[in-house]
Structure 1
Amino acid sequence: MAKLPSQARAVIIGGGIIGCSTAYHLAGLGWKDIVLIERNTLTSGSTWHAAGLVGQLRTSANITQLLKYSVELYDKLEQETGLATGWKMNGGLRLACNAERMTEIRRQATTAHSFGLEMELLSPQEALKLWPLMDVSDLVGAAFLPTDGQANPADIAQSLAKGARNRGVTIVEETRVIGIKTEKGRATGVVTDKGEIACEVVVNCAGQWARQVGALAGVSVPLQAVQHQYIVTEALGAPKNLPTLRDPDRLIYFKEEVGGLVMGGYEHNPVPWLPQGDMGDLPENFAFQLLENDLEHFEPLLEQALARVPALASTGIKQIINGPESFTPDGNFILGEAPELENFFVGAGFNAFGIASGGGAGRALAEWVAGGEPPMDLWAVDIRRFGALHRDRRWVLTRTLEAYAHHYSMAWPYEELTTGRPLRVSPLYERLKAQGAVFGSKLGWERPNWFAPQGVEPWDVYTYERQNWFDHVGAEHKACREKVALFDQTSFAKFLLLGQDAEAALSWICSNDVAKQPGSLVYTQMLNARGGIECDLTVTRRADDAYYIVTGTGFATHDFHWIRSHIPEGLDARLVDVSGAFGALALMGPRAREVLQAVAQGDLSNQAFPFGTAQEIMVSGAPVFALRVTYVGELGWELHIPMDSLGTVYEALMQAGKSHGIVNAGYRAIESLRLEKFYRAWSSDISPDHSPLEAGMAWAVKLKKNTPFLGREALVAQAAKKLPKLLACFTVDDQSVVLLGRETIFRNGKQVGWLSSGGYGYTLGTNIGIGYVRDRENGVTPEEVASGSYELEIACKRYPAKVSLQPLYDPKMERVKA
């Protein structure tokens, strides 16, 4: 066994597939003195008993690319290391037993095409030819991904470990980490039961134990171990090239193994692994062990398997596996640098697709460690998508079990999870609920999605067609365009940057010019070194030494961490989260000024209170910080109000607005309104993979000023040549179409990208999508984008589309700017 060194550049904790892959890839990037520590022996946690199906398609393009890389790596790993991996590219089959599931599969196939994966739609008889053991009498159809496959998880991990050793990694087994050393907010080493190691970077790949390892460093890793059962049958004549099979309507999956089948599933009533009682830690000595079989709990899945594969009725069961695996509250894994502690990284919580993710996730995490920032947009799995509520282990347990139960459920558009709610609420919550508010949840906050009129049931009815709220959101949209609407946006994240060097700090972090007079409001991005957009927010100068920063609800942890960690060393600038101190109401519409003027002191005319400025005004005895800004394309103000006065100000506005037709409105109306104005949304239309130039937002960048800022060099280089992609707006007039995002864009018959956002524009009466037109080899120009003939593939069918590089809604009336 390798001896524990006293120093290392990086220490990786955990010898499962993720830890081994991260070590392999980090060494491949040229890093020396890497130590991987395993408390028992390699693969002893959950890797050894994983089922080993390798599917690639996810709803995120980049996560799909990571899984595609896993397949590419597994294809060549045995040749590189000499160790067998059990990898075979036998394809993956997915079944549909009803029309709605078939619609989901058609949309998944379009997503696959968008992301560069081959996915074929099959009839029941075509599926039977690929999988002759099954009964297809209830099938509507199926889909086949020929590049999916399966592997032996332990063998893959051991092969990666050998590759890591060959690249100079030291692997120390039977060594337990009992502490994390820190200094001035940074991880500086690990304490083990065999001694201490000083290091620059700590990487937590401890699987189900990652939460406990994170806790040693004060880092929250929100995951929960859940029991997962599957069986291995005796041989029943299954051919070796039998594809993996997922039958989500029956909640089950299959793969071939030595002429027999592995069969498991994702039940709707999962059982957590809580060995120490309700909230106890997992035992440290649990290695190469399984849990007691629970046949009664597994029986419903077995009945579904017998219906699908009748031959199972006369086939013996060789083994029953009940092995705990780690799952997360949203079903996505956890990757990245912890916001609580610099140089402490996490790769954990893989929701039973750790083998499929292992190669790509390990590479991405290694590149993140080496480069200091994510190598691509990894927001879907970024640890900073979580917040303070995820430190509540009971909440994480409850929500994770719901996410597990949804593993094979229909992936309905706009679906909201329901457990652990309500948690964080605006002071207006009960008031709005009584007025028909139907809430969604974002980072624990309850936010009105839409309002059900009197006599309409206040809840969502899910479908792939127009949903039950469609017309009611349209009414809110119309009121905002023609009269006035009030949106409760209290959940916004709000920060103060304070200190004599606040301007210097933000001038470096922001790509737009924030060196303005107090009272100035600036819409800006914050970029990474590649010129990609890391944050999209507004910055308002309150004083010479104070800025007020407002960003989206879900980005609170991410944006706070990004700003704080990029303040240049030595500057006097302190970031404070004041989200809980202020509520926020957005008063929007052509009559917004008349409503606000009726209850506010001071002159609200365009001359006295122009767009892009902020003032403190008095409304019903409350000091209100009013921002002239809009995300819906109408005259309006964001009103930031002390939380204890929010109800008073709300009632005053609603009373003053009665004669002007004021309505409550929700986030789904905001979405339709912003699509008509071609306003971008971070994490979909703009992200770390997209620059302001590519997104058509060069106007929001201070390139003409001789002012250094993070990402400037990348933008200067990009501006000197044709761009690899340009963001455009698309419309499809066919009213039977529902755009959701990820639909494939065709220009002149050639695939050129996919939609990042999709929805409906009620003012224009058409479907609207936003997406990038791409040509990485030759680049694209605005003229080329505008001149093409376009189609969108939606659920595997193409529809004519029109393109625009300008906002679709731009009324001639001056009221939009007034």
Structure 2
Amino acid sequence: MKSETKVLVIGGGITGVSTLYHLAKAGWTDVMLVEKLELTSGSTWHAAGNLPSFSTSLNIMKLQKHSIELYQQLAEQTGESVGHHQTGSVRLAHTQERLDEFKRVAGLAKIAGMVGVEVVDNARLRELHPYLDTTGLLGGLWDPYDGHIDPTSVTNAMAKLARGYGATIVRYNPVTAIQQLPDARWQVSTEQGVITADIIVNAAGFRANEVAAMIGHQFPMCSLEHQYLVTDAIPELEKRPGLLPLLRDPDISYYLRQEGKGLILGPYERNPVAWAVDGVPAQFGQELLQPELGRLEDIIGEAIEQIGLIGQGGIKTVVNGPIVYTPDGLPLLGPVHGYDNYFACAGFSFGITQGGGAGRYLAQWIMHGQPEVDLWELDSRRFGSYANLSYTVSKALEVYANEYQLGQPNEYAMRPACREQKTSPVYSLLKVKGAVHGAFYGWERPSWFAVGGQPTQEAHSFSRGNWDAAVRAECEAVAQRAGVLDLTPFTKFEISGEGVRAYLDRISPNRLPAKPGDVALAHVLTDEGSVAWEFSVTLLQDGRFYLMCPAAAELLIDDWLRVRAKGRKDVQIRNVTREMGALILAGPRSREVLAQLTDTDLSNKAFPWFTGQEIEVSGVPVRALRMNFVGELGWELHHPIDRQIELYLALMEAGKSVGIADFGMRAMDSMRLEKGYQIWGRELTTEYSALASGMGYFIKSEKGDFEGHAAVIAEKNAPSSHRLVLMEVEAGRADALGSEPIFQGDEMVGLTTSGAYGYRVEKSLALGFIRRDLVDPGTQLSIEILGERCPAIVTRNCVYDPTGARLKH
């Protein structure tokens, strides 16, 4: 065992070994892995080994595709079988909404380069799986890439190759203590000695929190029991050559695949059970838990009705083993908040199908500062302190019970478990007024407001849903009168000190505000020139800079700012997110409403667009910023959080005479698309450059050196292949949601990033990246929405008030 290494991976399951393998293959050979017991101990060895590429997320689909492609190559590279069987799979649809999901996923597969993933009818289902009773089905999804693999063999194959590249693996060597040294390296004590590492990776599976506790934190993850049964050999299968395709019925909630001449049936229980919530037993390694078939009986019965073949085999084995879940069912990958040189590779409930791709992307993250695709949805910093153990267990159980739930917009955000983690003071008032809230980063945000006595509950759909009329009314109110939106969840920082301007100048590609009251919009760049995060910044009267940033990115931004301020005594950073509320007042009569509550001159001359002033509104001190995201006259009103109700009630009272109304996030999204405004996480990601995303106006390359400056200059000399455009779409019952393929004729030329119906312009709209030679307004395209090719036309960058007169008057 070495005493020093560049990267130390802790944990020898498939994800840890994959990370080691990819680092070593890329040339980082001074890498090492330690495992408490044997490789694959924990959850890997007893996994069913299924390899779905299916996902309603494009980048997770890409990650899983990379796993499958890697596993296909391993046998050839090692000369040993890894038990890979590419049988293909069918998923069954009992409802139109499920069929819509499959149509959407088939579109994602086209973008991911997975040819042959297609929606099929019942006749084709029977051809693919001759033992299937298709009664009650509307069709299904055929995925030729799916199959299964032996988890132990594939892990050992990667370990063998990693050793061949120069990596070190030490088994039966549990970690006993971890300490970070003053130079930011790590000192890791193990039973076989002390290891000093530049970087550590926590890939300890269901023991990841034991390792985390040694460092001083806890991940939002827990273990749940997962059972599957293996049948005896079935005579019908003994006669039949080859293997049946893997079958999943998401509505009944089970998977079924052939194992030898028998079957594996894996139900997802409706009343799942958490395991070892207070800590994994010290000696637990390659053991199983006591089976409890009674919990599975109803699903087994329904499966036998559908596939009578199951009933012909006796039960040979029942496997009940712990698997790890996070509150949203997705793994924790990437840097760990608050620490340097520490990465997470934990929380995998689908570790086999995700392990190969996760190791690839995490290795890129470690080596280059970011992976080739934007993996914010897996970033370990996507949860805040609200995600404690109680929250994690409750949400994880909810996720497991809804493992095959339709991946519709807002569905996860509106699930009932552990709500109201973070609420603004007006939350209860808005709820009484019909607000339908969704939880994002723990914050309750109003999505839309029910009208006319309709239930305050969203009927989830891939099409326009029961919110359509309500959102139309909200957009009309903002366009014709005035509206108020609670955007308290903004992440907010105050940054001050003698060196603050130089500090922010290095981060911001845009010029900083020059005098108090000036406001600027900035897009923080990666070294490659893509957008890491964005903020608006206001220079306050006392010289402090006030930053407003995306709510969900709070911990990512905190890390970014902290790392760059390290060792500087001339910069002070204060997170004021929970101290300051934010209400948006927007609409052509918003000045009339606000004027009733303040003595400040609100005229265009005295308070021009994109400036800010510290004023009093109905006696409440307010940082009033004349800007908004909906394209109307209006202000962001930032205020002490404990005065929010007072301010909100004053605004609504003053606005009665003009017909003021509440509006939610759906209305804001519709209106920002009409303006062609980009948002972080959709149009602004690490996958496309800021220039390709249309942010050139906010990047002043001549202002001096800033992070990403060299990449900006390089792209100006050699523009990227794709550009962001706004498109008008001849949509049917459904608008684009994002990640739909864009075609010119039969050639795929791009993908959407966002879409919605624009109620002010009465058009379905979509933003998306397309080939650079096609960006001229008037270019005819089509967008595949739920399996239908919808005509689309490239339009100007803004279809509502393109001169900005309504904003600036």
TM-score, with normalisation over the residues of structure 2?
A: 0.96
When residues 40 and 124 of structure 1 are mapped into structure 2, their CA distance, relative to the original with a 3 A threshold, is: same
Asked whether 1:401 is paired with 2:401, we answer no
Q: How does 1:449-468 map to 2 (within 5 A)?
A: 449-468=447-466
- Partner Cα distance (1:167, 1:155) in 2: 19
Question: SS state of the match for residue 91, structure 2?
Answer: strand
The answer to which of 140-149 and 560-569 deviates more is 560-569
Match in the other structure for 1:89 = 86
Q: How does 1:297-316 map to 2 (within 5 A)?
A: 297-316=295-314
Superposed displacement of residue 187, structure 1: 5.0
Q: How does 1:440-479 map to 2 (within 5 A)?
A: 440-479=438-477
Contact 1:242 1:255 in 2 (8 A): yes
Contact 2:728 2:766 in 1 (8 A): yes
Contact 1:252 1:304 in 2 (8 A): no
Asked whether 1:37 is paired with 2:34, we answer yes
Question: SS state of the match for residue 145, structure 2?
Answer: coil
Superposed displacement of residue 752, structure 1: 1.1
Asked whether 1:249 is paired with 2:251, we answer yes
Question: SS state of the match for residue 553, structure 1?
Answer: coil
AA partner of residue 455 (structure 2): E
Superposed displacement of residue 723, structure 1: 2.2
Equivalent of 1:163, from 161, 164, 167? 161
Contact 2:56 2:407 in 1 (8 A): no
AA partner of residue 394 (structure 1): S
Unaligned runs of 5+ in 2: none
Contact 2:247 2:255 in 1 (8 A): yes
- Partner Cα distance (1:314, 1:265) in 2: 18
Contact 1:218 1:340 in 2 (8 A): no
Superposed displacement of residue 305, structure 1: 2.0
Asked whether 1:742 is paired with 2:739, we answer yes
Superposed displacement of residue 526, structure 1: 0.3
Question: SS state of the match for residue 713, structure 1?
Answer: helix
Superposed displacement of residue 395, structure 1: 0.6
Match in the other structure for 2:764 = 767
Contact 1:759 1:768 in 2 (8 A): yes
Superposed displacement of residue 38, structure 1: 0.5
Match in the other structure for 2:610 = 612
Superposed displacement of residue 601, structure 1: 2.3
Equivalent of 2:272, from 270, 273, 278? 270
Contact 2:779 2:793 in 1 (8 A): no
Question: SS state of the match for residue 769, structure 1?
Answer: strand
Question: What is the percentage of aligned positions where both structures have the same residue?
Answer: 39
Match in the other structure for 1:369 = 366
Question: SS state of the match for residue 316, structure 2?
Answer: strand
Question: SS state of the match for residue 75, structure 2?
Answer: helix
- Partner Cα distance (2:431, 2:189) in 1: 51
AA partner of residue 88 (structure 1): H
Superposed displacement of residue 410, structure 1: 2.2
Match in the other structure for 1:47 = 44
When residues 756 and 242 of structure 1 are mapped into structure 2, their CA distance, relative to the original with a 3 A threshold, is: same
- Partner Cα distance (1:571, 1:793) in 2: 54
Question: SS state of the match for residue 180, structure 1?
Answer: strand
Match in the other structure for 2:805 = 814
Asked whether 1:67 is paired with 2:64, we answer yes
AA partner of residue 355 (structure 2): G
Match in the other structure for 1:794 = 785
Superposed displacement of residue 570, structure 1: 4.1
Aligned residues: 802
- Partner Cα distance (1:246, 1:144) in 2: 11
Unaligned runs of 5+ in 1: 775-779
Contact 1:500 1:545 in 2 (8 A): no
When residues 47 and 812 of structure 1 are mapped into structure 2, their CA distance, relative to the original with a 3 A threshold, is: closer
Contact 1:507 1:515 in 2 (8 A): no
Equivalent of 1:558, from 556, 559, 572? 556
AA partner of residue 794 (structure 2): V
Asked whether 1:523 is paired with 2:521, we answer yes
Superposed displacement of residue 702, structure 1: 0.8
Q: How does 1:3-22 map to 2 (within 5 A)?
A: 4-22=1-19
Question: SS state of the match for residue 461, structure 2?
Answer: coil
- Partner Cα distance (1:567, 1:534) in 2: 17
User: Residue deviations 1:409-442, cap 9 Å, x none?
Assistant: 2223321222101121111111111211111111
AA partner of residue 784 (structure 2): E
- Partner Cα distance (1:240, 1:224) in 2: 38
Question: SS state of the match for residue 553, structure 2?
Answer: helix
Q: How does 1:77-476 map to 2 (within 5 A)?
A: 77-118=74-115, 119-184=117-182, 186=184, 188-236=186-234, 237-238=236-237, 239-274=241-276, 279-351=277-349, 353-390=350-387, 392-415=388-411, 416-476=414-474
Question: SS state of the match for residue 254, structure 1?
Answer: strand
- Partner Cα distance (1:60, 1:100) in 2: 17
Superposed displacement of residue 689, structure 1: 1.0
Superposed displacement of residue 156, structure 1: 0.5
Runs of 4+ more than 6 Å apart: none
Contact 1:727 1:805 in 2 (8 A): no
Contact 2:100 2:786 in 1 (8 A): yes
Match in the other structure for 1:685 = 683
- Partner Cα distance (1:813, 1:805) in 2: 13
Superposed displacement of residue 784, structure 1: 4.6
Superposed displacement of residue 185, structure 1: 8.9
When residues 733 and 788 of structure 1 are mapped into structure 2, their CA distance, relative to the original with a 3 A threshold, is: closer
Asked whether 1:653 is paired with 2:644, we answer no
TM-score, with normalisation over the residues of structure 1?
A: 0.95
- Partner Cα distance (1:294, 1:350) in 2: 23
Match in the other structure for 1:715 = 712
When residues 41 and 811 of structure 1 are mapped into structure 2, their CA distance, relative to the original with a 3 A threshold, is: closer
User: Residue deviations 1:531-580, cap 9 Å, x none?
Assistant: 11010221112257521111122121122222222347546223221111
- Partner Cα distance (1:187, 1:418) in 2: 42
